[in-house]
Amino acid sequence: MPSIDQAIGERVRIYRKALGMSQTDLAEKIGVRFQQVQKYENGSNRIAASRLWQIADALNISVVSLFEGLPGTQPEPSAQTSEMIGLLQRLPEQRRTEALFYLRGLANGRNIDPK
């Protein structure tokens, strides 16, 4: 199994190539030499958080997308979970508090009658 550094480097390489961007192009955008990008991509050098942010920005992706699906990361939420989150976010604060009250009750096995 590759190290986390190697896995992140491979993801950087995949996204970079998908954009048709050379290592030199990426290096220029993040302020390093192309040899440093090579080291990041093969996992021999760790990518600092601030540099990871720059790389994600240069590739027009989120930093999180570089970690998704790696061992120890959270699985993607189901469509139903995503829908529930979206619906909760659209509610006004008072209604959201009520909805959470009912969800907590259901999760704890209580039969809640919404009136």
pLDDT in tens, 14-54: 999 988 899 999 999 999 999 999 999 999 999 999 999 99
Domains of the chain: 4-66 (1.10.260.40), 77-115 (no CATH)
pLDDT in tens, 64-90: 888 887 776 656 667 787 788 788 888
pLDDT of residue 54: 97
Cβ density class 97-107: b for 16+ within 10 Å, e for less: eeeeeeeeeee
How far apart CA 86 and CA 106 sit, in angstroms, is: 19
Which one has a higher pLDDT value, 6 or 68? Answer: 6
